[in-house]
Structure 1
């Protein structure tokens, strides 16, 4: 994968020699949560550019989360049941806590119910990049507004994105921007703006402590309004002196401004930062690690990252052209790039729901729908990834910590919990208030192209559920589960055809269901299912 000598021109003009179902599934697996049968069926036969164009289609803005949390012990007096709380007054800690749980359930639902778009994967990417924690922001309305901002700019202009993140009430709260005043400049956001959000910590990112201090002074004066759920600029709190930066930024001097004009210093700061080539290199490295592989050696840096960064800069920091180059280049589809990373917990949970088309309660039954989504969000949290609450401002270590990266998702605690979750959903399921989350193994099998043929059935299911090739010994074992120890393929074929002819035959349905549950449980307990 790293021996391909790509230039910026090649990245845009060298698609893979073949784009068939295997390549489609790999692309979907990296750009959506799991690979659903509906996406495979809808996109199979389309060429690469058509599929990528579909992935870049911006979905409609989703309806906001609602109050499904009233119960015998608590009623949110400001938010009637079934209506949204995102613009309601902040009342007390109990309401806020329940609204935050509502937000997390809602977000999990968007990932599970996504269409054929990369948006949800990008929202999670940017949530990790511009990391905030609900526990610190401590206002569900700000948290929701922050997520809406991630959605708005996820595929837009990164430079504009950085400015809006800087002014975002949740970020101002999280990194102390709202208490950054001329009499006591707070360096928190000024540091992370450079170290984590723009130029990064690469070998050539030579910004200085004085640059951090100067940036902090530029950023003085911003406040948050909990009534309006917004931010604003207060000139009386702003440092209007000149700010001098280091040679890394060309010894730039940002002229201090008074009154309302003080807010324009933010534009000067962002313009100065984005003149530095390190911004494009840093972001392209993060995108490569998220969508391709964590290891960036010297050849990958020179032949992939540098050309991608060139595309980023030449397109005025628009995000789409970089991703388009990434997904239409042959190295993305190299065998070494497939199944080479461990699924993050959200991808495991949301992906499994989508792969098997597990049914959730509908919007009208919002109470039980949110209960179920909270269960799924809690599972992801218990195995290492609580959406809304990465461990710190750097995000989840599995995305950046050398040398382990994605291997950090798996340990002696999380792997058994992963298997317990998939075992539960493939078996008796999760039940709450008479509603059940469970994988319908018969329905899923029926959705495959040739379910009556045990050989093709195994081939098709593995093509969707695994991103790596398994041994013939494993395939033979899986087939043995379907045949229940018999030799002839007809033992499965006859049973399946009989079920299709008479779906009410309880005895045959039990036989078929038992075999399929054993089969899928085994498939999901193998290490290969943990790979993306």
Structure 2
């Protein structure tokens, strides 16, 4: 039974997708299960990722996958050229602490995005980079609106530091982060001119959501805004501070939703402690843990949360979250080690985001980029990948609003929003480009070296094994036998015997310098993989 038939039968015979729970998954882990886990946790799956995990238990695998990446080197000036020279930063030197002028803002913004894309392309076998994207969407800021890449870099590094840490700590640090203060006008919020932007998003988007049980009031927004008065930013040091003279020192009365809590007004430096009290009353609401667990579920598992999933998965996850004092790792470990995660209905059911597609393709085919010492081309090739994802409606660093990308929150379509009449052709065009001529700049090229990819497989001379191994690496789903037959017909150039491909491959391998032999296997492989990446199943994770 293929995937479409399987899902259709589930829909016809049941009112819910599955009743599996957080009960630990116990069957042996095969390549299919490990691949499923990695495709959700990483951007694409490399053969080296699978090899690293082979033979390990699920606990051992998750211990590795939930390990933080090391702190990366800061982004550098890659943009000096014949038309522009940054007066404050030399080529190859970091700009993150250098003064800014109007001529280099855009260039540094682009440098930041290229650097970030490079970190995703070069991620280790860790969920860290995927979690940074998750929090970037959750605490969405727009680099173009902040309009100072130094703030955006510092904001990014905060997400990087706490991506797998404590959510309650992350909320506090985000609240006083200079980039967020600038983005949502928190630095303008003072006792004589209250600004409710951040106070509203803190509750509506960052902690409690807008669900039927999130019954905070408009007055709660106003009271929270009063608590948050007095924070300022320093555009020289790119830091924030608390100014008691701008703080509203009156008492703040909250609604019955917050158990009629009162935050007593404080004067002087102690006024800053009101923020801790505000966070505490928000985190006393069980809806906070439920809301965050739902967002994690939709990002990593599936967009639909029915009654069975709410009861069997979300509620228990939220309990783990609260009992661990809002540590993020225990929630992720419980989710990814559960029978629910490995339930067949939860495999190959997510549509890849543009970042997943573009970065994932580069990683799974092990595309080679210019070395880091070739600074200009290194950054520009990374930015090409970022630009392609942007053309498909996911511009990393610049989500469309403070709510993030609609595919992660917009009912009822959710991730189906990624695919439309404009984006699907762009996805196919990107795949077609990378499997054929690739992208060339300054004499440097990035593309899929499909012969090297196939040569790294266990038995590329056997067309049946080659097709099965290729599918298991780049697909999250089993395909029909008819598809496999058609794929083999491409390798065999329409012939009927397997030896037609075996002979062509072995002839090429016997002397790889003969161009004609290489062309024969190259054109067949390119045609087969182009077909593979243009099938709808390639869009699934």
Q: State the TM-score, normalized to the length of structure 2.
A: 0.96
Distance change >3 Å, CA 312–CA 2, structure 1 → 2 = farther
SS in 2 for 1:331: coil
Counterpart in 2 of 1:529? Answer: 538
1:136 Cα offset (Å): 1.1
Q: How far apart, in 2, do the equivalents of 1:272 and 1:449 lie?
A: 57
Query: Whole-Å Cα distance in 2 between the matches of residues 469 and 265 of structure 1?
Result: 55
SS at match of 1:363: coil
How far 1:255 moved relative to its partner? 0.7
Contact 1:339–1:468 (CA under 8 A) maintained in structure 2: yes
Q: What is the SS of the residue equivalent to 1:40?
A: helix
Verify the 8 A CA contact 2:20 2:343 in the aligned structure 1: no
Distance in 1, matches of 2:147 and 2:213, equals 36
Q: Are 1:171 and 2:180 matched, yes or no?
A: yes
Q: Distance in 2 between matches of 1:447 and 1:188?
A: 53
The alpha-carbon deviation at position 452 of structure 1 amounts to 1.3
* Runs of 5+ consecutive residues of structure 1 not aligned to the other structure: none
Shift of 1:16: 4.1
Partner of 1:22: 32
Q: Which residue of 2 aligns with 1:130?
A: 139
Give, in whole Å, the separation in 2 of the partners of 1:16 and 1:384: 39
Work out the CA distance in 2 between the residues paired with 1:22 and 1:56: 20
CA shift digits 1:338-370 (9 cap, x unpaired): 111111000000000001000000110010011
Post-superposition offset of 1:94? 2.0
Q: Distance in 1 between matches of 2:183 and 2:75?
A: 22
Is residue 114–residue 120 contact of structure 1 (8 Å, CA) maintained in 2?
yes
Give 1:498 deviation, angstroms.
2.3
Out of 31, 37, 41, the position equivalent to 2:47 is: 37
Partner SS state of residue 161, structure 2: helix
The equivalent residue for 2:19 is 4
Alignment pair present for 1:207 and 2:216? yes
- Give the whole-Å Cα distance in 2 for the aligned partners of 1:496 and 1:456: 13
Shift of residue 497 of structure 1? 2.0
**Residues 15-45 of structure 1: per-residue CA shift (max 9 Å, x gap):** 1423111000000000000111110111122
In structure 2, how many angstroms separate the alpha carbons of the residues matched to 1:447 and 1:52?
Answer: 26
Residue 241 of structure 1 is matched in structure 2 by 250
Instruction: Write the distance in 2 (CA, Å) between the matches of 1:88 and 1:430.
Output: 32
Deviation at 1:5, TM superposition (A): 5.5
1:58 aligned residue: 68
Q: Deviations over 1:165-195 (max 9, x none)?
A: 0010110011110000000110000000000
1:498 to 503, 507, 518: 507
- Structure 1 equivalent of residue 343 of structure 2: 334
Moved more, 191-200 or 15-24: 15-24
The answer as to 2:62 corresponding to 1:47 is no
Q: Which runs of at least 4 in structure 1 moved beyond 4 Å after TM superposition?
A: none
Q: Are the aligned partners of 2:492 and 2:498 in contact in 1 as well (CA < 8 Å)?
A: yes
Q: C-alpha separation between the residues in 1 aligned to 2:510 and 2:95? A: 50
Q: Is the 8 A contact 1:17 1:330 kept in 2?
A: no
Q: Say which SS state the counterpart of residue 384 (structure 2) adopts.
A: helix
Q: What secondary structure sits across from 1:330 in the alignment?
A: coil
- For residues 347 and 514 of structure 2, the distance between their equivalents in structure 1, rounded to whole angstroms, comes to 41
Give the aligned CA root-mean-square deviation in angstroms.
Answer: 1.0
1:231 aligns with 2:231: no
Tell me the secondary structure at the aligned position of residue 322 of structure 2: helix
1:505 CA drift (Å)? 2.0
Name the counterpart of 2:449. 440
Deviation at 1:488?
1.4
Task: String of CA shifts for 1:384-415, please: whole Å, max 9, x gaps.
Answer: 00011100010000001000001100111111
Query: Offset of 1:499 from its aligned partner?
Result: 2.1
- Provide closer, same or farther for how the CA distance between residues 5 and 385 of structure 1 changes in structure 2, counting only shifts above 3 A: closer
**Distance in 1 separating the partners of 2:244 and 2:107:** 36
Distance 1:54 1:4 in 2: 29
Whole-angstrom CA distance in 2 between matches of 1:449 and 1:48 = 25
Range moving further from structure 2, 400-409 or 493-502:
493-502
2:90: which partner in 1?
Answer: 80
Q: Take 1:247 and 1:259, find their aligned partners in 2: how far apart are those partners?
A: 29
Q: TM-score, normalised by structure 1?
A: 0.98
108, 116, 124: which one aligns with 2:125: 116
Find the aligned partners of 1:418 and 1:509 in 2 and give their Cα distance.
28
